[in-house]
Amino acid sequence: MCAGGCGLVRRMGVLAAMVVVMALLVVAGVHNLRQRRAAMAQARAAQIVLVKDGAAPVVDDGVENSGTSLMGKAAPGFTLVDLNGKKVSLADYKGHPVVVNFWATWCAPCRLEMPWFEEFAAKYKGQGLVVLGLSQDDADMPAAKIAEAAKKIGVTYTILQPGDKAKAEKDYALADYLPETFYVDKNGIVVEHSLGAPPKDELEADVKKAMQ
């Protein structure tokens, strides 16, 4: 007698537990959806597309918030100091394909790809390729330390000391990690952008895009 009654009670108990679990799922799902919508709205509100030479930024309705937004646009100009104390501007290389590579001495993947840039700088020298390595180390990092790192990595192309990092981050809409590279064609247009160290063949393909 109890078997049937107890069984019914148990089943009702299990059913009640399932209803509670389903209700929890629905509440969590709704909350999750609301959070995602709020985050997306926030990202859209914060989206900024930057233009050359510090012109007034324009709010975009896209969701991309990294250097990818510079694709097809003029590379923002900069003037920084190389490891010998000489001022170097992107404008100095007008008419050349330029690789603008953001790196730091503490970034192991940067050190992995930099020798490839060195190799391609030599390989495509005849086509005017220029590689600029913009150090994102702390502003108080001595130039000698950066030079020591560059030597150890084995690069001889122009390395630029960290200048106004906030400006570079803003102008190039940099992500919060390294390396990050912009491939600029001879007309000064960003034709490719990469985040992180890509495989060597992919990196060379990006270099070639800048030379087309």
Partner 1 sequence: MMKQGSGFSAQGPGWVLTVLLLLGVAGRAQEISFGGDAAKKGHVSLLSDDLVVEAGKAQVVELRFRVEEGFHINSHTPKDPLLIATALKLDAGDVKVLGVEYPQGAVFKLGLGADAETLDVYQGEFRVRVRVVAVRGSSTMVGTLHYQACDNAACFPPRDLAVKVAVTGK
Decide whether 22 or 45 has the Cβ nearer to partner 1: 22
Task: From residue 21, give the alpha-carbon distance in Å to each of 12, 28, 191.
Answer: 14, 10, 51
Structure letter (DSSP) for residue 63 = S
Whether 110 sits among the annotated catalytic residues: the reply is yes
The site for partner 1 (CB under 8 A) is made up of 3-4, 7, 10-11, 14, 17-18, 21-22, 24-25, 28-29, 31-32, 35, 104-112, 115, 136, 149, 152, 176-179, 195-198, 200
SS3 188: coil
Longest pairwise C-alpha distance within the chain: 96
CB 81 within 8 A of CB 160: yes
Query: Minimum distance from CB of 122 to partner 1 (Å)?
Result: 17
Least Å from the CB of residue 136 to partner 1: 8
**Helix (H/G/I), strand (E/B), else coil: 142:** coil
Burial code (b: 16+ CB inside 10 Å, e: under 16) for 18-34 equals: eeeeeeeeeeeeeeeee
Nearer to partner 1, 57 or 109 (CB): 109
- Given a contact cutoff of 8 angstroms between Cβ atoms, the answer to whether 138 and 71 are in contact is no
The residue (of 61 and 140) whose beta carbon lies closer to partner 1 is 140
CB of 60 to partner 1, least distance (A): 24
Spot the catalytic one: 2, 6, 107, 110: 110
CB closer to partner 1 out of 51 and 141: 141
Closest distance between partner 1 and the C-beta of residue 93, in Å?
26
**Which active-site residues does the annotation give?**
110
